[in-house]
Structure 1
Amino acid sequence: MLAKVNSCIIIGVEGLSLEIEVDIASGLPMFSTVGLPDGAVKESKDRVKAAIKNCGYDFPNKRITVNLAPANVKKEGAGYDLPIALGILSANGLIPPEKLSCYSIVGELSLDGKVRGVRGMLPVVLNARDQQMKGILVPSENSKEAGVVDGIEVIPIHYLYEAVEYLLGEREIEPYKNSFDTTFSHEEDSSLDFSDVKGQEHAKRALEIAASGNHNVLLKGPPGAGKTMLARRITTILPQLSFEEALETTKIHSIAGTLPEDVALISQRPFRAPHHTISDAGLIGGGSYPKPGEVSLAHNGVLFLDELTEFRKRLLEMLRQPLEDRKVTIARVNMSLAFPADFLLVAAYNPCPCGFHGDRGNRCICNAVQVQNYISKLSGPLLDRMDMHLEIGALPYSEMNTTAKSESSSEIRQRVNRAHAIQKARFSQLKGSRSNAAMSPSMVEKYCTIDNTGRSLLQMSVERLGLSARAYHRILKIARTIADLDDSGSIEKQHVAEAIQYRRLG
């Protein structure tokens, strides 16, 4: 007898409908799985057989064939255990086929029949809703995450026998539903605030501009100047995540397995700060079956690379594509996947190995060759893709010892929100751009017009500093953001002058 069960495959960050066909025929006892299964899927036969027996059901001592369609897409993970088990019980006559047709099913089985949680539940539920399924049977561990999706019943399952009894109508299971108010709360980390930062007013201003237009920032300065302290507080002035952005972010973290158990939906902008010893796949993403890396985990948030010159040069060069395209494309022989990577990059580095080159208060012990070798790890093309270059000086004692309170993050965020509202209105009818930093050349030409005085100043700066065409466009984008902060419809000379200040290190 043949039975069919609906499930889902994760391709990149999206769900693809999967049909699991189970055929039981006469012949020598055998259990075969076809359809490009990986090792974990092939091993499911032992888990499924033990779970069915230990839950008190008869396991057919016949020839069992399980087909995972579409057969040309690789299947991985243990999330197909539950649908395969239910398919076998249906093919054996226990569950009527029509009971399975309106549900999508996913879950790993332990040997005693307990249903364990799996990664990537959110895109699975979204796929089931898009396929107009009545409901989806999910492990109870994943019910919080699955419950954030409207328009589909989420049925939490603890054991295999619960799923069987529910499908047979012998057990009532209340669909799980999250409360939007508790799930999508914007509780901020009160331990981080710009009011804690003494001095460095020029750096705070630059980070406010960066947050307003989503401009990448490069911080250069001696140890202890406050580069890390400033970078870790930038998320406190970014606009709060919208529900759509929260879904995008949660999908990525769910697939990567970094979503905390007690969190149903990520409602705070992510801040990722990988160590400089990270691997290529860890930063960019990849593997034999590609998974998202840190650049994708920082999507809609901040990626902070501290001690930038300590990262391998080859690794830094890999950042060039995501910085331009705001996505990562990973190609393999049998597939090509794209992971979103729209993040704000904040990078910090010391001016030399000892850290005090050019510092008036401390003597540098590095020679010219050491300094050159140290800085040469940062290539011209990479530096050119950093919108804002900022030098952070050592803080004088008078500013360290002051008792005056600086401007708080909430006050800065109000101005950032106003600038974002202007950009949202500007780009509302356009696709692919949500910030000034993401404007295409044609959009720069349309929205970044300047008067003759500002144009003369920009021309002189480009010629004297030897700036590239990319740097020229980035100055215009920064000037547009500064004008938005001033609530100015046109870009004026002072906006251009301030924008140029943030390219001098390049």
Structure 2
Amino acid sequence: MGLARTNSVALIGLAGSLVEVEADISSQLPGMRLIGLPDAALAEAAERVRAAAKNSGCALNGHRLTVNLSPAALRKHGSGFDLAIAVACLAADGVVPAASVGAVVHIGELALDGRLRPTPGMLPAVIAAARLGHRTVMVPAGNAEEAALVPGIRVVGVSSLRDALIWHGARLEPQEVEVLRAPVEDDPADESLDLLDVVGNDEAILALQVAAAGGHHLFMLGPPGAGKTMLAARLPGLLPDLGPAASLEVSSLRSLSGRPVGRSLITRPPLESPHHTITAAAMVGGGSGQIRPGAAARASHGVLFLDEAPEFSGAVLDALRQPLESGRISIHRANAIAHFPARFQLVLAANPCPCGQYGAGDQECSCPPNARRRYLARISGPLLDRIDIQLTVTRVTAAQLRISADGGRLSSAVARSRVLAAREKAAERLAGTPWTVNSQVSGPWLRSSERRLGAPVTAMLDRALERGGITMRGYDRILRVRKSSI
């Protein structure tokens, strides 16, 4: 009996810190005490570990166990420390070699029968372990494929605490157990959605391509049934595949949100479409315990679509203003600051009035003018000033339906090839700058003497700026969109 140590990982946002788990057996009264600022879920690990060890055939020592999670000043969240606590306690009792346990990073939640449950945030946790110099990580078998996506790491996937102890050298007979896996979820960014399904709305389709080419935000205004939702759902299909860094970031955010990643990194841009009842914390991220990414962070490198935008809370919409400018979300707590990426394309869709029929032509609007103004005023001016492309979408007419039936519609494959060509040109033009798409370019760079457009071209813009019709941000926005024309 003595002291044993192993390691685990604590996540704050996407950043991970190494936690040393120390277990000491004393000769005092029986019991287990966890110290080192554990939260409520982690404080309950004592009972999970005790039951799991007993049901795995190696009950914990009857003497008092003290488990320290170091550094003690760092608050620890979640149940992912269960496996590390269990093997440290059993190593202190001599069931497994302390040297073997100390050389491995252990991450995983224990069930009472000793099986290991898949743990959210496995990918960023393993990335943190690799960054901190560790090369062997033991994880639940349900997370093994996800952990193996990190290069240079030896991943040991185990189904139960018993299997973990056998791997470390315990003299136990192997037992077959059911592997616990995370439920499979459908991806809202469906690649089967094609622009060929869209009838009419040629201007909206062109605007969609321009938005995809330059990474611009988009606002669509139109009556119900005009096709706003259909258009927005097809925007991710026009975007290029994610690069290696973006792919790793998107996959890490998905893992941290508790959704399975699979055998390969995510290579397609994500789509997030929250309901209008979402709270500000659910939109940007937060939580009373462990800080989780919100919809805006999960949409990073993809599309955040807000259907029926005026129905969203004003506080939720305005919470997006800072991420739209900086491309980053910082969530401050008393003892920690979590950072999440938030470089997404925002797509807003709205009806023109509460009844939705204003300007539809085929039906009469029953809303008075002041009701229409109040309805659209729910989307604040400062937020709209950050939306690069704003257009009106109309309902499809019978004539457009007949014309579309004869062919001539644009497919997502053709539109995506145009977007890729436009992005390649933008990459050449922006070579040597910190930007990759036109929406990221700063105003001073656009208005510099060597890139300034001629006075005849900008005359209308200059007059609008002088009259207060547009802001300086709006002026720069128009210049950026011009550069993204397909």
Could you say whether these structures have the same fold, taking a TM-score greater than 0.5 normalized by the shorter chain as the test?
yes
1:434 matched to which residue of 2?
436
Are residues 1:97 and 2:98 paired? yes
1:71 matched to which residue of 2?
72
Q: Which consecutive residues of structure 1, in runs of 5 or more, have no partner in the other structure?
A: 174-185, 486-506
1:203 matched to which residue of 2?
204
Q: State the distance in 2 between where 1:297 and 1:194 align.
A: 24
Change (3 A) 1:85 1:265: same
2:48 matched to which residue of 1?
47
Answer with 436-445 or 324-333: which moved more.
436-445
Change (3 A) 1:365 1:58: closer
1:491 matched to which residue of 2?
none
Does the 8 Å contact 1:82/1:106 carry over to 2?
yes
Are residues 1:272 and 2:272 paired? yes
Change (3 A) 1:72 1:444: farther
Q: State the distance in 2 between where 1:70 and 1:441 align.
A: 45
Q: Give the deviation of 1:96 after TM superposition.
A: 2.3
* Aligned-partner SS, 1:401: helix
2:410 matched to which residue of 1?
407
Are residues 1:281 and 2:281 paired? yes
Change (3 A) 1:465 1:390: farther
Letter in 2 for 1:421: E
Q: State the distance in 2 between where 1:163 and 1:422 align.
A: 53
Answer with 369-378 or 356-365: which moved more.
356-365
Q: Give the deviation of 1:87 after TM superposition.
A: 0.3
Q: State the distance in 2 between where 1:51 and 1:8 align.
A: 21
Q: Deviations over 1:309-360 (max 9, x none)?
A: 1111222111111111111121122222221111101100011111122233
Correspondence 1:4-403 to 2 at 5 A: 4-168=5-169, 189=190, 191-259=192-260, 262=262, 264-289=264-289, 290-402=291-403, 403=405
Q: Give the deviation of 1:361 after TM superposition.
A: 2.7
Does the 8 Å contact 2:272/2:295 carry over to 1?
yes
Are residues 1:474 and 2:477 paired? yes
Q: Deviations over 1:76-104 (max 9, x none)?
A: 11111111110011111232222123311
Q: Give the deviation of 1:190 after TM superposition.
A: 5.2
Answer with 130-139 or 32-41: which moved more.
130-139
When the two structures are superposed, what TM-score results if normalisation uses the length of structure 2?
0.91
* Aligned-partner SS, 2:77: coil
How many residue pairs get aligned? The number is 468
Q: Deviations over 1:263-322 (max 9, x none)?
A: 653232111111111122111211213211110111111011011111112221111111
Does the 8 Å contact 1:448/1:480 carry over to 2?
no
Letter in 2 for 1:280: A
Moved over 6 A (4+): none
* Aligned-partner SS, 2:484: helix
Residue among 454, 457, 471 paired with 2:457: 454
- Identical-pair percentage: 39
Change (3 A) 1:420 1:101: farther
Change (3 A) 1:80 1:375: same
Does the 8 Å contact 2:388/2:478 carry over to 1?
yes
Q: State the distance in 1 between where 2:35 and 2:445 align.
A: 50
Q: Deviations over 1:422-447 (max 9, x none)?
A: 3334445444x332212233433458
Letter in 2 for 1:444: L
Does the 8 Å contact 2:353/2:367 carry over to 1?
yes
Q: State the distance in 2 between where 1:207 and 1:462 align.
A: 26
Q: State the distance in 2 between where 1:335 and 1:45 align.
A: 25
Q: State the distance in 2 between where 1:19 and 1:197 align.
A: 56
1:501 matched to which residue of 2?
none
* Aligned-partner SS, 1:347: strand
Q: State the distance in 2 between where 1:35 and 1:114 align.
A: 25
Does the 8 Å contact 1:448/1:476 carry over to 2?
no
Q: Give the deviation of 1:170 after TM superposition.
A: 7.3
Change (3 A) 1:268 1:67: same
Q: Give the deviation of 1:465 after TM superposition.
A: 6.6
Letter in 2 for 1:256: S
Q: State the distance in 2 between where 1:103 and 1:131 align.
A: 13
Q: State the distance in 2 between where 1:56 and 1:169 align.
A: 11
